[in-house]
C-alpha cells in the first residue's frame, strides 16, 4: 500500500475538524430552534460544508491524478503519454477547485454578514452593512471573472504541451484577486463589533471578549495573506497549495461559527427545549432576556432600576443569535435606549 502523503493526512484531519465544528453549530441551532425557523446564516453554514466537502473531494482526486501546477516545459516534455492524460484531468480539477474555493470563502463571509446585519438593524451601521454586502458581491464576482479570464483561451488552463505559460498553470492573478477580496471584506466587517461594543453598557472584560469573538476575521485575513504570499513568492506546489487551502478553510470555519458555538458552554442550552417554533409564528422570549428587566419607558413591567445591569442580562456574549425569531439588533437597541433614560429612573 502506497504511503499517504503528509499533506493529504493534514487535509483529512482539517476536513474532519471543520465538519465537527459545523455539526456542533447545527446541534446548537436545532437545540435552540427548529430547522424551519433557521436564519439565513444557518443555511449558509450548510453551504459552507457542501463546498468544503467538494474541496476535500477535489484534493483527494488531485492526489491520485496529479496536477501540472507550475510545471516547466522540460517537466511537461518528460511526462509519459498516460501521465499527460492524467495531468490534463488534474489541471481541469485544479481549474474547478478555484470555483469551489471561491464559493466556500464567500459562503463563510455570508454567515458573518447576515449575523452583523441582524446585529445592526435599526442602527446607523445597518447602512454600512448594506455597503459591505455590495462590496462582498462585487469581490465574489471579481474572483469568478478573474478565474475565467486570467488565462485565455480557456482550454489553456489544462493544456499540457506546449507549456501554456506560468500564469495559466499557477494562477497568480486569481490568487491575488481572491485574497484581496477576502481580506477587504473581513477588514470592513471588523469595524462592526468594535463600533457596536463601544455603545453598550457592560463590564470591560465582557466587551473585550465579545469584540474578540466577533473579530476573529483578523486570523482569516492573516491566513489568506499568508496563502497568497506563499503561492506567489515561493512557487506553486500542489501539496503545499492543498495544505494552505485547508488551513485557511479551517480557520475560516472556526471564526465564523465561534459566536454560535459559545452557546455550548451555557447550562440553559442543555436543559431547555427549542424555542421560536415556526409553526405558531409567534416569537418567544429570547434566552437571557426578560420583559421584567426592561424599564417602563421601553415596555417592561418590572422595576426601572433593573435596566442598568451593565448589559449582562440584556446582551450576553453567548446570545448574539437569540433563541427566538427576535433580532439581536432589538436587544442592542434596547440596551442603547436604557443608556438615555433619565437619571431619576436609574437610581
C-alpha cell at 203: 463590564
Which of 41-45, 167-171, 304-308 shows the lowest per-residue confidence on average (mean pLDDT)? 304-308
Q: In this structure, what DSSP letter does residue 283 have? A: P
In this structure, are residues 191 and 128 in contact, taking their beta carbons and an 8 Å threshold? yes
What is the tens place of the pLDDT at every residue in 23-46? Answer: 999 999 888 777 888 889 999 999
CA separation for the pair 301, 218 (Å, rounded): 42
| DSSP secondary structure code for residue 37 in this structure | G
To which residue does cell 442602527 refer?
123
The number of beta carbons lying within 10 Å of the beta carbon of residue 121 is: 16
DSSP element (H, E) containing 333: helix 328-339
Rounded distance between C-alpha atoms, residue 108 and residue 8, angstroms: 23
Neighbours of 279 (CB within 10 A): 8
Of 248, 91, 250, 240, nearest in space to 171 by CA: 91
Q: How confident is the model at residue 269 (pLDDT cuts 50, 70, 90)?
A: confident
Lowest-confidence pick of 37-51, 175-189, 205-219, 302-316: 302-316
Average pLDDT over residues 10-22: 96
Residue in 70, 88, 9, 59 with CA at minimum distance from that of residue 245: 59
A 10 A CB-CB count for 225 gives: 15
pLDDT at residue number 328: 41
Three-state DSSP class for residue 297: coil
Query: pLDDT tens for residues 191-246?
Result: 998 888 776 777 777 777 877 887 888 889 988 888 887 776 655 566 667 788 89
> Please, which pLDDT band fits residue 273 given cuts at 50, 70 and 90?
low
Distance CA 313, CA 289 (A): 6
**Chain mean pLDDT for the chain:** 78
Residue 168: pLDDT over 80: yes
The confidence score (pLDDT) of residue 91 equals: 92
Exposed e or buried b for every residue in 228-261, given b needs 16+ CB within 10 A?
A: bebbeeeebbbbbbbbbbbbbbbbbbbbbbebbb
Q: Where do the DSSP E strands lie in the chain?
A: none
**DSSP secondary structure code for residue 312 in this structure:** T
C-alpha 225/C-alpha 187 separation (Å) is 12
In this structure, what are the phi and psi dihedrals at residue 196, rounded to the nearest 5 degrees? -65, -45
| Nearest CA among 236, 224, 240 for reference residue 10 | 240
- The predicted-structure confidence for 134-160, as pLDDT tens digits, reads as follows 999 999 999 999 999 999 999 999 999
Say if CB 324 and CB 116 are below 8 A apart: no
Tell me: pLDDT of 104 over 90. Answer: yes
Domains of the chain, earliest start first:
6-267 (1.20.1070), 272-346 (no CATH)
How many residues in total does the chain contain?
347
Output the DSSP codes for 82-140: HHHHHHHHHHHHHHHHHHHHHHHHHHHHHHHHHHHHHHHTTSTHHHHHHHHHHHHHHHH
- What are 216's three cell numbers? 476573529
CA distance 174 to 154: 14
| Nearest Cα residue to 101 out of 239, 230, 245 | 245
Burial of residue 81 (number of CB atoms within 10 Å: 0-12, 13-18, 19+): exposed
φ/ψ of residue 162, rounded to 5 = -70, 170
pLDDT digits (tens, 9 = 90+) for 49-95: 999 999 999 999 988 898 888 788 998 999 999 999 999 999 999 99
Supply the pLDDT for residue 326.
37
CA dihedral 290, 292, 294, 296 (to 10 degrees): 150
Share of the chain above pLDDT 70, in %: 74
Measured CA to CA, the distance from residue 267 to residue 12 in angstroms comes to: 33
At 43 the pLDDT is 94
Instruction: Categorize the per-residue pLDDT at 329 as very low, low, confident or very high, splitting at 50, 70 and 90.
Output: very low
Amino acid at each position: 500500500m502506497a504511503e499517504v502523503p503528509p499533506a493529504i493526512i493534514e487535509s483529512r484531519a482539517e476536513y474532519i475538524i471543520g465538519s465537527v465544528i459545523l455539526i456542533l453549530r447545527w446541534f446548537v441551532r436545532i437545540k435552540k430552534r427548529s430547522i424551519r425557523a433557521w436564519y439565513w446564516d444557518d443555511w449558509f453554514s450548510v453551504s459552507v460544508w457542501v463546498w468544503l466537502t467538494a474541496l476535500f473531494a477535489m484534493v483527494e482526486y488531485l492526489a491520485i491524478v496529479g496536477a501540472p501546477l507550475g510545471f516547466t516545459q522540460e517537466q511537461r516534455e518528460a511526462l509519459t503519454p498516460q501521465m499527460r492524460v492524467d495531468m490534463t484531468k488534474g489541471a481541469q480539477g485544479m481549474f474547478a477547485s478555484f470555483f469551489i474555493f471561491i464559493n466556500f470563502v464567500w459562503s463563510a463571509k455570508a454567515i458573518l454578514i447576515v449575523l452583523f446585519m441582524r446585529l445592526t438593524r435599526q442602527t446607523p451601521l445597518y447602512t454600512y452593512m448594506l455597503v459591505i454586502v455590495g462590496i462582498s458581491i462585487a469581490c465574489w464576482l471579481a474572483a469568478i471573472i478573474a478565474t475565467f479570464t486570467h488565462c485565455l483561451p480557456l482550454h489553456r488552463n489544462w493544456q499540457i504541451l506546449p507549456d501554456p505559460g506560468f500564469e495559466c498553470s499557477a494562477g497568480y492573478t486569481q490568487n491575488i484577486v481572491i485574497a484581496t477580496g477576502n481580506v477587504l471584506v473581513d477588514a470592513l466587517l471588523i469595524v462592526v463589533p468594535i463600533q457596536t461594543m463601544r455603545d453598550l453598557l457592560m463590564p470591560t472584560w465582557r466587551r473585550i471578549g465579545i469584540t474578540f469573538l466577533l473579530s476573529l476575521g483578523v486570523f482569516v485575513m492573516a491566513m489568506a495573506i499568508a496563502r497568497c504570499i506563499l503561492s506567489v513568492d515561493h512557487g506553486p506546489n500542489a501539496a503545499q497549495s492543498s495544505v494552505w487551502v485547508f488551513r485557511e478553510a479551517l480557520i475560516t470555519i472556526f471564526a465564523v461559527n465561534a459566536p454560535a458555538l459559545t452557546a455550548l458552554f451555557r447550562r440553559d442550552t442543555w436543559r431547555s427545549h427549542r424555542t421560536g417554533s415556526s409553526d405558531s409564528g409567534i416569537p418567544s422570549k429570547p434566552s437571557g432576556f426578560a420583559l421584567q428587566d426592561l424599564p417602563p419607558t421601553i415596555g417592561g413591567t418590572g422595576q426601572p432600576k433593573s435596566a442598568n445591569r451593565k448589559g449582562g442580562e440584556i446582551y450576553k456574549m453567548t446570545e448574539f443569535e437569540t433563541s427566538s425569531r427576535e433580532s439581536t439588533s432589538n436587544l442592542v437597541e434596547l440596551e442603547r435606549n436604557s443608556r438615555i433614560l433619565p437619571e431619576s429612573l436609574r437610581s
